[in-house]
Amino acid sequence: MRTQRYFIGAITAAALLLTLSPTGQASTNSDQVLARLISANAGLRSFTANVSADVQMHSFPYLSANLSGVYYHKEPSKDKVVFTSGLPLVAKQFSNVYPHVESPARWHDVYDISVERDDGTYTTFKLVPRAHARIDHIDAKVGDRSGELAQLRWNYVDGSYATLNQTYSKVGAYRLVTRETGHFRDPNYDADLTSTFSKFRVNVAIPDSIFSN
């Protein structure tokens, strides 16, 4: 979800594009795709949205639940989802483990970036954290023409993974994620998730304390 809100200058964009291959020269198509991604929704500083999530647990406690809450985003890369209703056990788990997506404006700073594949419609980038972390790498699938981040897969060093498929809609002057489907799997749980986002409030003041609690 969180990839629709990026603002970046031309100098940073150029630096990011130089990381796409060992020689510093990426294919023209990949350059253009990444440029569209990192320049999308210029001027979007923050937003909140109501979130409704249907969760199907395939591991203990084997529950189906509907959760509702609020999703927060603040540039450059602060994100948090707070589920405020639904089964408390499931709500707490997903409030804590909902995967974080760095803004593409910061990818150059935190990842080594390469192109995994380009099928002519989508380009999939491989993002390897520069700092040692639980994440081995992230697969980020971007629409060649739209520049929208359609799919993400977090691959963790212990074999766990999480996936999100994202659907965008027009919200005012911006293209924002309004629906996600995903799967989360680690040693403690195995679950499918479908989320919808509505009642967006764009460029609102959000205190930093929201993201530290």
Are the beta carbons of 47 and 173 closer than 8 angstroms? Answer: no
User: Can you give the residue range of the structural domain that contains 139?
Assistant: 10-212
Residue 165 lies in a domain: yes
Q: Indicate the residue type of 19.
A: T
Are the beta carbons of 125 and 116 closer than 8 angstroms? Answer: yes
CATH number of 45's domain: 2.50.20.10
pTM of the entire predicted model: 0.79
Dihedral of CA 162/168/171/172: which sign?
positive
- pLDDT, one tens digit per residue, over 63-89 is 888 989 999 999 888 888 888 887 666
Residue 173 lies in a domain: yes
C-alpha 33/C-alpha 30 separation (Å) is: 5
Pairing assessment for the beta strands 46-57 and 64-74 based on DSSP bridges = antiparallel
Residue 2 lies in a domain: no
Pairing assessment for the beta strands 111-118 and 78-85 based on DSSP bridges = unpaired
Residue 95 lies in a domain: yes
List, in sequence order, every beta strand (DSSP E) within the chain: 46-57, 64-74, 78-85, 111-118, 122-129, 135-143, 149-156, 161-171, 174-186, 189-202
Residue 102 lies in a domain: yes
The structural domain count of the chain equals: 1
- Give residue 11's pLDDT: 26
Residue 86 lies in a domain: yes
Residue 205 lies in a domain: yes
Q: Indicate the residue type of 7.
A: F
Residue 82 lies in a domain: yes
- Give residue 116's pLDDT: 93
Name the residue with tokens 């999530």: 53
What are the residue ranges in the chain where pLDDT is below 70? 1-28, 87-89, 93-98, 213
Name the residue with tokens 């707070």: 82
